Chains A and B, each alone.
Chain A
């Protein structure tokens, strides 16, 4: 009897329309719906409202000298030329090439090094000491970019810099080297400073993954006469392959951004002659948008181009992760 009633009610609920069910649930959560308000308001204001500004990219020119922004936005000078300009622009292609070079080298050098660092840390017997080292290596990650660049500028100064002084006293160089004045050294500096700041912090994920591997595997391997190197190659690395893949995809998705603050600051302390040739995409984007002699219509077009390509990379990366690792990027 009771089960009969139950099934009737189920059917009723099923039949009752979608909105009625939503209404019931809405009533249940009525008093917490307003929790979403502040975040929603800010998302609408600073996430969605600026999207109207995308229209700027479809304008021949955009100047605020005469009109107010709203009048200027709806002035009739629509064109697609800004997007065509992107691909003919020399500044853009140099910046793109620089960004890709830096990021490919980061993927080839810095990324494997963080994994190696995690493996090395896990090989230390005392977890206390390995954690101590990790804490020290993580410290630069929590310093701001102006601080980091300041530290390196002091260290590599032309006059009074420690590096120059040491090299001079060892007679390796005849006169002080101007480290921030040569094009050949700029990209290595970007990569090395990024490594100095981030490698400790980035290896934490791998370190945690290694520490969670069952210790009895290692004991069995040792008893079977497996050397440490073989244990690392055949046991440690295969166990953390999923997290390596995840981090690798995550790095790939950021391939168009090589760290705005780092490169911008490094360019500022470097010789002015490097400024045009060594820009990366983020810096170029900022300078066309807000820098001296900014072209705001072109800057917006570049921004949209960049955002769209990044979005495609992100979504693809997320799909790949979901498919092969059963885990999304967010």
Chain B
């Protein structure tokens, strides 16, 4: 009588089954709450403006016009280009400089190690505020250009500490063996330490990319809202601007009807790069957690 397996004999109590039902219901609701506004956004982006009143979760009057309109907007295109430049440069230089600085700091017998670490951590904990930074950028002639945002984002002490902790955990024997073979310190870093630390590099790079692509407050403060700064603003700022443009700003009837739809379409375009790297982020979420817990 194999059919009466152990599982069937131990009946799950009623309370557990109720709990499970509640659990599943709440999780499904949570998922719906995340999906529904996004679905709504997508249907707006692919709809023609006359049908906006009837749109719920499916496009009405399916059209690509909104996307065509955006790709003819010079302001959108410059913002997109700026965002790409900002993201690439920040990711490259931030991770290069932070990992380089972390390498000497991962040596336990480095002279003044504690002092240097404190020197960096202080900049993470205490800042002079917006006005002094604004004045400094103005004096350097960087205010109002994309370089202001880039140069302020390169130093990421949090990532530096992640790199340092990871390097400290690398097996000492490999480095010692390499040293025996007469490998210079520079080669040691780029040819031995970096290849061994690819997971932490990948995780830090992905998170830098997301942060740089999504950053909006830096642009608001240090690129500014002036007309002269228009060609320097990133995509996140463009979307903010689009959200604020009242219908009186443009005397174009097509725009008046399709404003929401164009907004939705540009939001979707700005999400796409994030969606492309999201699978990679998920892959490293686990290593990110372990890095976080080691810290």
Contact = CB atoms under 8 A, between A and B. Distances in A.
Interface in B14-72: 15-16, 19-20, 23-24, 26-27, 30-31, 33-38, 40-41, 44, 52-53, 55-57
Interface in B188-243: 189, 210, 213-217, 220-221, 236-237, 239-240, 242-243
Contact of A304 (B35, B128, B264): B128
B240 A228 contact: no
Interface residues of B, number: 101
Which of A38, A45, A49, A54 has the largest count of B CB atoms less than 10 A from its CB? A38
B104 A38 contact: no
B71 to A, nearest CB: 18
Interface in A38-55: 38-40, 42-43, 45-54
A147 B263 CA distance: 10
Contact of A120 (B23, B37, B120, B138): B23
B152 interface: yes
Given A40-B101, A147-B271, A135 B120 contact: no
A183 interface: no
B240 A146 contact: yes
A205 B239 contact: no
A46 B120 CA distance: 11
B132 A54 contact: yes
B239 A208 contact: no
Interface residues of A, number: 89
Interface centre among A43, A151, A154, A204 (most CB of B within 10 A): A154
B132 A53 contact: yes
Given A46-B151, A133-B31, A330-B158, A162 B40 contact: yes
B154 A31 contact: no
A26 B278 contact: no
B130 A290 contact: yes
A145 interface: yes
Interface in B230-272: 236-237, 239-240, 242-244, 260, 263-264, 267, 270-271
A6 B265 CA distance: 75
Interface stretch (A7-15, A84-92, A103-111, A306-314): A306-314
Interface in A253-271: 260-261, 264-265, 268-269
Interface in A206-238: 208, 227-229
Interface string A46-88: 1111111110100000000000010000000000000000000
A299 B123 CA distance: 20
A269 B270 CA distance: 19
Contact of B216 (A47, A146, A166): A146
A149 B285 CA distance: 25
Nearest to A26: B111
A22 interface: yes
B131 A143 contact: no
Contacts of B122: 47
Contacts of A196: 33-34, 37
Residue among B24, B34, B131, B239 with the most chain A CB within 10 A?
B131
A289 B285 CA distance: 37
With a 10 A CB-CB cut-off, give which of B26, B134, B138 has the most chain A CB atoms: B134
A35 B56 contact: no
B135 A153 contact: no
Contact of A144 (B100, B161, B236): B236
B34 A139 contact: yes
Given A26-B111, A160-B53, A330-B124, A289 B30 contact: no
A228 B239 contact: no
Interface string A168-207: 0000000000000000000000000000100010001100
B155 A269 contact: no
A32 interface: yes
A56 B131 contact: yes
A31 B184 contact: yes
B201 to A, nearest CB: 15
Contacts of A296: 131
Nearest to A42: B155
Contacts of A32: 103-104, 107, 185-186, 189
A167 interface: no
A137 B184 contact: no
A239 B123 CA distance: 35
A26 B26 CA distance: 60
A261 B236 CA distance: 11
Interface in A122-140: 123-124, 133, 135-140
Contacts of A157: 260
Contacts of B33: 196
A38 B97 contact: yes
Given A205-B289, A228-B19, A330-B121, 4 more contacts: A32-B186, A36-B100, A123-B20, A150-B267
Q: Which A-B residue pairs are the 10 nearest by beta carbons?
A: A303-B129, A53-B132, A47-B123, A144-B214, A50-B132, A39-B101, A50-B128, A146-B239, A289-B130, A160-B52
13 contacts: A32-B189, A35-B101, A35-B189, A39-B120, A45-B136, A50-B136, A121-B27, A124-B23, A133-B30, A151-B267, A166-B56, A208-B293, A228-B16
